[in-house]
Amino acid sequence: MTAPPTNPAPVEPPPKRLKLHGRAFYESIGSPKRIVAPMVDASELAWRILSRKYNADAAYSPMLHARLFAETEHYRRQSLRYAPTSDAEPALSYDGDHKSDRPFLIQFCANDPQHLLAAAKVAQHHCDAIDLNLGCPQGIARKGHYGAFLQEQPDLIYKLINTLHEGLDVPVTAKIRILETKEKTLEYAKMVLDAGASILTVHGRRRDQKSHNTGLADWSYIRYLRENLPSETVIFANGNILYNADVEACLEATGADGVMCAETNLYNPAVFMPPTASFEERFPRVDVMVRQYLQIVQDLTFGEGNPVVELTKEQTREHASLTCIKSHLFRLLHAVFTRKENHYIRNNLAKATGQKFCEILKLADELEKVVEEQLKLTPETQEQWDGIMKEIGGPGADAKILRIPWWRCQPYVRPTPQQAYENGAMQKSKKQLNAAAPKESKRELDSESATSDSKGEMPAKRQKLEEPQPESTRENGQLASLDSNVCG
């Protein structure tokens, strides 16, 4: 069998559809409440399909770069899989497939209205709406001058949104972060809505809340917006989702129409399952989840029922599901890799490539054997599950980190700065050590000063993954979910 074909050129756009706005648009796409966030190199088609199987109502594309998308055909092919244009092409699912990938919103980062409009005009035929990224807090956004680093330019933000609102056949939406005060955040939100945004997604963290300084998202800001914006305003809340119960808690606390989830969705795609679902449904076995995910990738890449073949590097790059596969597996298996006896699986995964998909499938076989052997040694019981779930509470001081067995999908919880120093995830710089040495009272840096010197941080890929500790809580930013680090 020959390798699957690359994406064809975009087809002629379909006839114009009726353009709705605000709540009318939201209701037209089914009033989704559980939304997969736009995540850089993470919310691609295969992952969206998997998440929808586990109760996600809507999903966003990965963040796309507007100028590159508008000007570079190769980047467009890597970013979007187009629908087949003839019966001769394989009947594979595609981005925005009405059977498997709707509602679907495509997100762009941009700082130039015309670049943004040019990109959006191509993308609008594949989705329900175009979203503008105004929330990315990472260094690359600072360097490229987009995302949360446009906050100081409200006139530019207005023009970006309004240009899409006036020039597209589909609605425009926007994702923002909160500002220093509720009043400033409200003023910001009103400007975004006045510019033409149909849905406002609010990440309840400020721009500086990231990495080990992530802390808790402040839901009270979102509630304040809900109470002070017109009732017809559609709001999605983002931040603090670790477990299924947090979704309903967030809806109640904020009054939002929907809840968006980023990083926890990557570690446990079943996070959107209802709290009334069984433990098995809310925290699936990792080997089962990995097998389901790989089957979706295989079907998207080679066609359902077709054999797996080795691809060239160029072919692999044009299949987003293959280029993202290793990062997804490392996240799904993070608890598995806390066990030394499973490190060989991690090492084999590090060596594997999307080109040789068969190698990835062999890892899945080995994972199934490991989990089955563990369950023979320690069979699970309903009483055990009930005991685990007694620990759960709402966000804040009463929200314990559940002791989920390592063979089940679960959120990754990052340590506070002080914990990071203690477990080796971060190291003090020479500057910090020298400054602390003269005074007895400052031999140990407090958590605030520890986060202020980026030189002391190890790269994210080297950060140590720790098993959740039963007595830890999420109070005052401890062990907070890291929606901010992957979300667009």
Side-chain-side CA neighbours of residue 21 (13 Å): 9
**Average pLDDT across the chain, whole number:** 85
Residue 210 is predicted with a pLDDT of 73
Are 77 and 6 in contact, with CB atoms under 8 Å apart? yes
pLDDT score of 458 more than 50: no
* Nearest CA-CA partner of 338 in 264, 417, 276, 412: 412
* Partners of residue 60 on adjacent β-strands: 105
| Number of domains present in the structure of the chain | 3
User: Does the active-site annotation cover 109?
Assistant: no
Side-chain-side CA neighbours of residue 392 (13 Å): 15
Tell me whether residue 10 is in a domain. no
Tell me whether residue 231 is in a domain. yes
Residue 215 is predicted with a pLDDT of 76
Tell me whether residue 234 is in a domain. yes
Tell me whether residue 12 is in a domain. no
**Range in 24-38, 201-215, 372-386, 399-413 the model is least confident about:** 201-215
Domain CATH number, residue 155: 3.20.20.70
Structure tokens belonging to residue 50: 């998997």
pLDDT tens column, 365-381: 999 999 999 999 999 99
Catalytic, out of 136, 250, 261, 409: 136
Peptide bond preceding 103 in cis form (omega within 30 of 0): yes
Residue 18 is predicted with a pLDDT of 84
Tell me whether residue 383 is in a domain. no
Do 324 and 212 share a structural domain? Answer: no
**Range in 54-63, 156-165, 195-204, 457-466 the model is least confident about:** 457-466
**Domain end among 377, 403, 427:** 377
Structure tokens belonging to residue 158: 């207005």
Alpha helices for 270-356 (secondary structure H): 279-282, 286-302, 313-317, 320-323, 325-332, 343-351
Of residues 316 and 297, the one with the higher pLDDT is 297
Segment 377-391 mean pLDDT: 88
Do 245 and 347 share a structural domain? Answer: no
Q: Are strands 64-65 and 58-60 parallel, antiparallel or unpaired?
A: unpaired
Domain that holds residue 441: 393-482
Q: What does the alpha-carbon distance between residue 56 and residue 266 come to, in Å, rounded to a whole number? A: 13
Q: What does the alpha-carbon distance between residue 72 and residue 65 come to, in Å, rounded to a whole number? A: 10
Segment 296-321 mean pLDDT: 90
Q: What does the alpha-carbon distance between residue 130 and residue 171 come to, in Å, rounded to a whole number? A: 7
Q: What does the alpha-carbon distance between residue 134 and residue 155 come to, in Å, rounded to a whole number? A: 13
CA distances from 350 to 22, 264, 353 (A): 45, 22, 8
Do 136 and 241 share a structural domain? Answer: yes
Residue 488 is predicted with a pLDDT of 64
Q: What does the alpha-carbon distance between residue 188 and residue 153 come to, in Å, rounded to a whole number? A: 11
Do 445 and 347 share a structural domain? Answer: no
pLDDT score of 440 more than 60: no
Do 184 and 103 share a structural domain? Answer: yes
Which amino acid is present at 327?
Answer: S
Do 93 and 187 share a structural domain? Answer: yes
Place of tokens 């570690």: 267
Do 417 and 296 share a structural domain? Answer: no
**Range in 68-77, 172-181, 315-324, 477-486 the model is least confident about:** 477-486
Do 273 and 197 share a structural domain? Answer: yes
What predicted TM-score, i.e. pTM, was given to this entire model? 0.84
**Domain end among 227, 252, 278:** 278
Do 274 and 134 share a structural domain? Answer: yes
Do 92 and 207 share a structural domain? Answer: yes
Do 148 and 30 share a structural domain? Answer: yes
**Domain end among 244, 278, 312:** 278
